[in-house]
Structures are given as structure tokens and as C-alpha cells.
Structure 1
Amino acid sequence: MSKTKKNEFRPDDFVVYPAHGVGRIVSIEEQQVAGLTLEMFVISFEKDKMTLRVPTARAAEIGMRSLASPDLVDKAMETLKGKARVKRAMWSRRAQEYEQKINSGDLLSIAEVVRDLHRSDDQREQSYSERQLYEAALDRLTREVAAVSGIDAGGAQKKVEAVLTARAA
């Protein structure tokens, strides 16, 4: 792995870790693991009250990335305006696909899940698992929108919900 790749992220940077969403690099430290000295990114996920240590050499392989560009956030918002695409597959299969999209860390895939699972008040009830997946995707999307736009999570959620309710109208 090249040296330039390793120093792509710096302390205080926001990063997206596929399985957990947006976190902030607190520091880069060395740690002894099985007799080897490994350089680790220490990433804090404030909302989840969790700290993760990721070997710097494996960050790219794991899929850790910088925050989306404002352009990509705009594309994600456009995705939300689209018509929900719900496959006719069994729920367990669809749920698995949604879960994979959410954990891919890909903002557009996450936006697709939010779009496909969003229900306006007059639509049919959502099952518990549908609601869980929707909220997980919405949370990931709003946290990244907040970090990219420099607004708080509440403001980002309003922004996303405004797009979703405009679509439903």
C-alpha cells in the first residue's frame, strides 16, 4: 500500500465507515498487536457512543471513505424525488438487499433505500423490520447530509423530509 493513500485521512476529518456511517477521526495512533506495531485511525461515532480503531493500511480495503461531495449529496436528494422501486421479491430477500445497500456506505444506494421504504401518512402500515431498515437508512443519509452541509442532524432531517413529502404531494 502506498504512503500517500495512508495519509489521505487526518485527525478531525469526517469519514464514512460502511457499517457504521459518519464518524470523526479523533487521532492516529500506534498500537501493538500480536508483536506488530500497527498504525490505527481512532474513529469516534458520537451518536452511537462508540470508538473504532481501524488499521490505516486497511482503511481503503474496508471501504472507509471521505464524506460525499456536495454534488453527490444533491444527486442523493434527486434520488429521493424518484418513484419508489419495490421489487416483487419476498420481503426477506428485499430486506437483505436493503441491508446490503445501507452497509455499503454508498450514499446513492442509501438514498434508494430511503426512497423505496418511505411511507407518507396516508399509505399502508410498515412492518417493524421495514421501519427499522427505513430508519437506519434515513439516519445514515441525514448524518452525512448534515456533515457535508455543515448543519446539525435535525436540520438535515428536515431537509430530507421536505424532499420526501414534496415527492408524495
Structure 2
Amino acid sequence: MFQIGDKIVYPMHGAGVIEGMEEKEILGKTEEYFLIQMPNMQMMIPRGRINQLGIRPVADQATLKVVMNNFAEETNDDTLTWKQRYDENLKKLKTGTIEDGADVVKDLMRRNQKKALNSSEKKMLEDARGMLVSEISLAQGLSQDEVLTVLENELRV
């Protein structure tokens, strides 16, 4: 179970830090909540739902190294329509793993370099990049701008 001070990732939301625990009564039911500080908001998540929501610790250094090595590899599948690609990418994001999230960001950033993305894919890229950057930033102790620069440089390799 998680503790105050732990760095976590909430799939489809990004990375944050558990800043406290609070007991609240909502609709007549008293429950313990984790207070999680995310980059742009604070969330309260019931202690009993942490595992169900897929919340996990931020990636360790070995995992980050693998993710960054894979980021430079080109793996676009040009046989899929944008809708099929969107659905596949959405499935990957929902897994909550950093590897799948980085794969989505890499694919969409590469596609965007070749040809402008449609509005749905632009939004997905923005959201996925934000989630990936928040995790790497928290895990490495870097600013989000520094992480973005590293990711962009990896694509130029």
C-alpha cells in the first residue's frame, strides 16, 4: 500500500505525490482518502479504490532507461486508418504503463513531424505527452521543459 510522500502515477491523469490522508464522510459513508498533488490539481482518491484505479509507483530508473532507448526507435504502422490508430493508442494509454504511454507519444510525435495530426490525435498527443512528461519529471527530478527537450531530441536521433 502507498504511504505519504510516495510518487505515484494515476493512469489517464499523470504523476503526482501523495501528500496526506484524510477521513471524509460522503453520502453517509466515512472513508479514508489519499490526498494526491498532481501538477495542475489536487485529487482525493478513496484508499479502497487505489488498486482498482490502476494507480502505481512512478517508474524506476531501469524502466526509464528502457523507455528512453525505445523512444528513438521508429515503429509507425502506416497500414492503419487514423481511427484504428486512435483506438489502439487509447487502449495503450488506458493500460497505465509508462512503456505504452511513451509508445503513443513517440508514434504521434513522429506522425506530427511528417504530417499534421487531426484534432483528435492532436488532443491525444497533448494529453499523453503531459502524462509521460509528468512521470519522467517526477522520477528524474527534472523540470517538465527539460523532459520535453530530451524527448524531442530523442526523436531526431
TM-score (norm 2): 0.89
- Cα distance in structure 1, aligned partners of 2:11 and 2:121: 20
Unaligned runs of 5+ in 2: none
Residue range with higher mean Cα deviation, 115-124 or 101-110: 115-124
Identify the range of structure 1 (57-66 vs 97-106) with the bigger mean alpha-carbon deviation: 97-106
TM-score (normalizing by structure 1): 0.83
Task: State whether residues 84 and 117 of structure 1, in contact with CA within 8 Å, keep that contact through their aligned partners in structure 2.
Answer: no
Q: Secondary structure at the match of 1:46?
A: coil
Measure, in 1, the Cα distance between the counterparts of 2:15 and 2:113.
32
**Structure 2 partner of 1:131:** 122
Deviations along 1:56-102, one digit per CA (max 9) or x if unpaired, are 12101210011111111111112211112325233222212212322
Structure 1, gaps ≥5 residues long? 1-7
- Sequence identity (%): 27
Q: CA deviation at 1:147?
A: 0.7
Indicate conservation of the 8 Å contact 2:105/2:128, yes or no. Answer: yes
Which of 29, 40, 54 matches 2:33? 40
State the Cα RMSD in Å: 1.9
Q: Output the CA distance in 2 between the equivalents of 1:77 and 1:137.
A: 15
- The residue number in structure 2 matching 1:94 is 85
> How many residues were matched structurally?
157
CA distance in 2, matches of 1:26, 1:103: 25
CA distance in 2, matches of 1:155, 1:141: 13
Tell me the distance in 1 between the aligned counterparts of 2:26 and 2:123: 36
Q: Which amino acid aligns with 2:16?
A: G
Answer whether contact 2:12 2:131 (CA < 8 A) is retained: no
Q: Which residue of 2 aligns with 1:25?
A: 18
The separation in 1 between residues aligned to 2:140 and 2:39, in whole angstroms, is 18
Q: Report the Cα distance in structure 2 between the residues aligned to 1:136 and 1:86, rounded to whole angstroms.
A: 21
Q: Which amino acid aligns with 2:131?
A: R
How far, CA to CA, are the matches of 1:101 and 1:121 in structure 2? 19
Paired residue type of 1:91: W
Query: Match of 1:51, as an amino acid?
Result: Q
The answer as to whether partners of 1:14 and 1:23 remain within 8 angstroms in 2 is: yes
Q: What CA distance in whole angstroms lies between the structure 2 residues aligned with 1:98 and 1:86?
A: 12
Relative to structure 1, the CA distance from residue 10 to residue 122 in structure 2 (aligned partners, 3 Å threshold; closer, same or farther) is closer
* Cα displacement string for residues 6-55 of structure 1 (whole angstroms, at most 9, x for unaligned residues): xx3222322100120112222111111333321111112232xx222111
